[in-house]
Amino acid sequence: MLGLPALIVAALGLSGCTSVRRLHEPLPAISAIHSPDFAQATGSMLGASFLPGNRITTLSDGDAIFPAMLGAIHLARHTVTFETFVFHRGGIAQQFVDALAERARAGVEVKMIVDDLGSFGAGAYFAALRAAGVQLEVYHPVFSADLWRLNYRTHRKLLVVDGKIGFIGGVGIGDEWHGHSSGSDEWRDLHYRVEGPVVAQLQAAFHSNWFAVHHEVILGPGYFPALTEIGHARAGAFFSAPQRGRYTVGLMYHLAIAGARESLLIENPYFVPDRALTEALCAAAQRGVKVKVIMPGRHIDFSPARLASRKRWPRLRAAGVELYEFRGTMLHSKLLVADSLFVSVGSANFDPRSLAINDEANLVVLDPSFAREQERVFESDLQRSRPVDLQSPILSGVIDLPIRWFQSTFERQF
């Protein structure tokens, strides 16, 4: 749930306080995703090569995700690096505090970055972690004289253990993610366990912000050990840091859409594409790509995002894009699958903040087997969804006025 500090930052993002750099027009159709030069061009443009030999394990919902993460932490022998946006007070957070503190007391080097906005009110946990020996940095404190930095948040979800096992996805540390998304208080989400050469790129993503906040270069085999091939998937980790001039997420989305020829599946909690992404999706649908989007329905933690999303629905539907709303609970997973080969997972949403303001980190996988698995995940979630209703009564009468104001604010700024 978003508190007052989060609403303040959301307002800053909408008010034009940030210089937003992004594509203003959709890319034309480029080399197909299955062509050899797509991976070469995409990796080069986004700043990381696609490395072979990785194994990526899908973890669905909190009851699978949290035990896997905590189990890896308990087995750490040398280092743990951990970066997260959400660290909410509760039972899940306490489990992570206990596990990280125990490893630090055992002599493991534990380094942690937590966004001050997403962890507002968790100061007692941080004191306990520091007392145990954890090196913990709070990213861009809310109560700071530097108001410009207030709008820039780290939204990444990264965990790397001994430089060998990585985790990335959409899950924050909070009780709202517990369970199996079987009730309205159990959020639906996806996270991924990563092994193989690409883990070094996940570590590099963490290091980019660790150096920014702690001014330390992390080196050595405890952080960057030799990594052998352990699976069959090609993968690359891509991260954005807009405050430092690194814009990657939006370009990655555009490249995937422009390279798609057959299918494009998107599952995202905050589906508020700007004009260029809207037109890119429409162009893809009009050239014959089957485009499907799943987003939250009435169960959403930030209703204005859903209202702003509606601005694009008539245009997208007219172009042939299929739009669905997830039922039963909050959908928080961030998944994109293109042409049964290209898969993007990680922290990035499909909205202006992720495109141009937040620090984000995504893993892109080029592997047909992994892509087919994610397509099955998407189809399972589709069974729990229904087509959007363009004639919803919420868009009529007096209630329509604030909605139109909110939509027009997005329209002007993004």
Tens-level pLDDT at each residue, the chain (414 residues): 444 444 444 444 433 344 456 788 999 999 999 998 999 999 999 988 999 999 999 999 999 999 999 999 999 999 999 999 999 999 999 999 999 999 999 999 999 999 999 999 999 999 999 999 999 999 999 887 777 788 899 999 999 999 999 999 999 999 999 999 999 999 999 999 999 999 999 999 999 999 999 999 999 999 999 999 999 999 999 999 988 878 898 999 999 999 999 999 999 999 999 999 999 999 999 999 999 999 999 999 989 999 899 999 999 999 999 999 999 999 999 999 999 999 999 999 999 999 889 999 999 999 999 999 999 999 999 999 999 999 865 543 334 444 454 445 444 443
Determine the structural domain holding residue 368 and report its residue range.
21-413
Residue 6 covered by a domain: no
DSSP character string of 304-320 = HHHHHHGGGHHHHHHHT
Residue 132 lies in a domain: yes
Residue 16 lies in a domain: no
pLDDT of 244 reads: 82
pLDDT reported for residue 48: 87
Residue 119 placed within a domain: yes
Q: What is the CATH number of the domain that holds 333?
A: 3.30.870.10
List active site positions: 155, 157, 162, 332, 334, 339
Q: Tens digit of pLDDT for each residue in 301-331?
A: 989 999 899 999 999 999 999 999 999 999 9
142 touches 116 (CB < 8 A)? yes
Q: Is 141 helix (H, G, I), strand (E, B) or coil?
A: coil
Q: Is residue 309 part of a domain?
A: yes
Query: What pTM did the predictor assign?
Result: 0.92
Q: 173 pairs with which residues across the strands?
A: 87
Residue 8 lies in a domain: no
- How far is 155 from 152, CA to CA, in rounded Å? 9
Task: Count other C-beta atoms under 10 Å from residue 71's C-beta.
Answer: 13
Name every residue whose Cβ is closer than 8 Å to that of residue 281 and which is 6 or more positions away in sequence: 257, 264, 273, 291, 293, 316, 319, 321
Instruction: Please state the domain count of the chain.
Output: 1
CB of 309 closer than 8 Å to CB of 295: yes
Q: Would you give the distance in Å from CA 201 to the centre of its chain?
A: 16
Query: 4 lies in a domain?
Result: no
**Per-position DSSP letters for 31-47, written without gaps between them:** S-TTSHHHHHHHHHHHT
Q: Does residue 10 fall inside a structural domain?
A: no
Residues 6+ apart with CB under 8 A from 63: 178, 179, 180
